[in-house]
Structure 1
Amino acid sequence: MIDVQAVLPGEVPPVLFDPITLRSLTIPNRAWMSPMCMYSAAPAGPDTGVPHDWHYSHLAARAAGGAGLILTEATAVSAEGRITPWDLGLWNDRQERAFAHISHLLTLHGAVPGIQLGHAGRKASTDRPWRGGGPVAPADGGWPVTGPSPLAFDDGHPVPHELTTEEIQRVVADFAAAAGRALRAGFRVAEIHGAHGYLIGEFLSPHSNHRTDAYGGSFANRIRLALQIADAVRAVWPDDLPVLFRVSATDWLTENPGDERDGWTADDTVRLAKELHAHGIDLLDTSSGGNAPRARIVPTPGYQVPFAARVRAETGMPVAAVGKITDPRQAEDILTSGHADAVLLGRELLRDPYWPHRAARELGARPTWPDQYAYAL
Structure 2
Amino acid sequence: MTSADITALLKPFDDGSHHLRNRIVMAPMTRRFSPGGVPGPDVAAYYARRASSVGLIITEGVLIDHPSAGSDPDVPHLYGDRALAGWRQVTDAVHEAGGRIAAQLWHVGLARDPEGPLYPGYPALSPSGIDGAGRPAGTAATSEQLAGIRDAYARSAAAARDAGFDGVEVHGAHGYFLDLFLWEATNRRDDEFGGSLEARVRYPASVVAAVRDAVGPDFPIIFRFSQWKNGFWDARIARTPEELGRFLGLLAQAGVDAFHPSTRRFWLPGFEGSDLTLAGWTRRLSGLPTIAVGGLGVPPRPEDPGTVLPENVPPTERVADAAAAIGAGEFDLMAVGRALLTDPDWVTELQEDRIGEMTAYRKPDEDYLDGAARGGAIG
TM above 0.5: yes
Change in CA separation of 1:22 and 1:97 when aligned onto 2, cut-off 3 Å: farther
Task: Report the Cα offset of residue 177 of structure 1.
Answer: 0.2
The corresponding residue for 2:61 is 74
Q: Distance in 2 between matches of 1:254 and 1:352?
A: 28
1:106 to 62, 83, 94: 94
Q: Distance in 2 between matches of 1:333 and 1:318?
A: 17
SS where residue 137 of structure 1 aligns?
coil
Q: Distance in 1 between matches of 2:108 and 2:333?
A: 26
Q: Distance in 1 between matches of 2:259 and 2:149?
A: 21
1:240 to 209, 218, 243: 218
Any idea what the Cα deviations from partners look like across 1:54-84, whole Å, max 9, x if unmatched? 32222122113x0111111111103431263
Change in CA separation of 1:40 and 1:80 when aligned onto 2, cut-off 3 Å: farther
1:173 to 114, 136, 151: 151
Q: Which amino acid aligns with 2:23?
A: R
The corresponding residue for 1:335 is 326
Superposition map of 1:312-331 within 5 A = 312-326=283-297, 327=316, 328-331=319-322
SS where residue 194 of structure 1 aligns?
strand
Q: Distance in 1 between matches of 2:190 and 2:262?
A: 28
Q: Which amino acid aligns with 1:340?
A: F
The corresponding residue for 2:127 is 148
SS where residue 353 of structure 2 aligns?
helix
Unaligned runs of 5+ in 2: 271-276, 298-315, 356-379
Q: Which amino acid aligns with 1:169?
A: A
Superposition map of 1:1-377 within 5 A = 14-22=7-15, 24-42=17-35, 48-64=36-52, 66-78=53-65, 79-82=67-70, 84-125=72-113, 137-138=115-116, 143=121, 144-152=123-131, 159-251=137-229, 263-267=236-240, 268-288=243-263, 299-300=264-265, 302-303=267-268, 306-326=277-297, 327=316, 328-362=319-353
Q: In the alignment, is the contact (CA less than 8 A) between 2:25 and 2:57 conserved in 1?
A: yes
Q: In the alignment, is the contact (CA less than 8 A) between 1:244 and 1:282 conserved in 2?
A: yes
TM-score (norm 2): 0.77
Q: In the alignment, is the contact (CA less than 8 A) between 2:5 and 2:323 conserved in 1?
A: no
Task: Report the Cα offset of residue 304 of structure 1.
Answer: 7.3
Any idea what the Cα deviations from partners look like across 1:114-171, whole Å, max 9, x if unmatched? 111111111123xxxxxxxxxx73489855311111114679x982111011110111
User: How many positions carry a matched residue from both structures?
Assistant: 321
Change in CA separation of 1:53 and 1:269 when aligned onto 2, cut-off 3 Å: farther
TM-score (norm 1): 0.78
Q: In the alignment, is the contact (CA less than 8 A) between 1:122 and 1:145 conserved in 2?
A: yes
Task: Report the Cα offset of residue 41 of structure 1.
Answer: 2.1
Q: Distance in 1 between matches of 2:163 and 2:170?
A: 17
Q: Distance in 2 between matches of 1:254 and 1:101?
A: 38
Q: In the alignment, is the contact (CA less than 8 A) between 2:41 and 2:89 conserved in 1?
A: no
Task: Report the Cα offset of residue 269 of structure 1.
Answer: 3.4
Percent of counterpart pairs with the same letter? Answer: 27
Task: Report the Cα offset of residue 342 of structure 1.
Answer: 0.2
The farther-off stretch of 138-147 and 77-86 is 138-147
The corresponding residue for 1:370 is none
Task: Report the Cα offset of residue 253 of structure 1.
Answer: 6.3
Alignment root-mean-square deviation, CA: 2.8
Change in CA separation of 1:22 and 1:229 when aligned onto 2, cut-off 3 Å: farther
Task: Report the Cα offset of residue 26 of structure 1.
Answer: 1.3
Q: Distance in 2 between matches of 1:102 and 1:246?
A: 22
Q: In the alignment, is the contact (CA less than 8 A) between 1:195 and 1:201 conserved in 2?
A: yes
Q: Which amino acid aligns with 1:302?
A: W
Q: In the alignment, is the contact (CA less than 8 A) between 2:197 and 2:247 conserved in 1?
A: no
Change in CA separation of 1:324 and 1:214 when aligned onto 2, cut-off 3 Å: same
Q: Which amino acid aligns with 1:71?
A: I
Q: Distance in 1 between matches of 2:46 and 2:233?
A: 38
Q: Distance in 2 between matches of 1:310 and 1:150?
A: 32
The corresponding residue for 2:370 is none
Q: Distance in 1 between matches of 2:27 and 2:117?
A: 33
Q: Distance in 2 between matches of 1:158 and 1:123?
A: 14
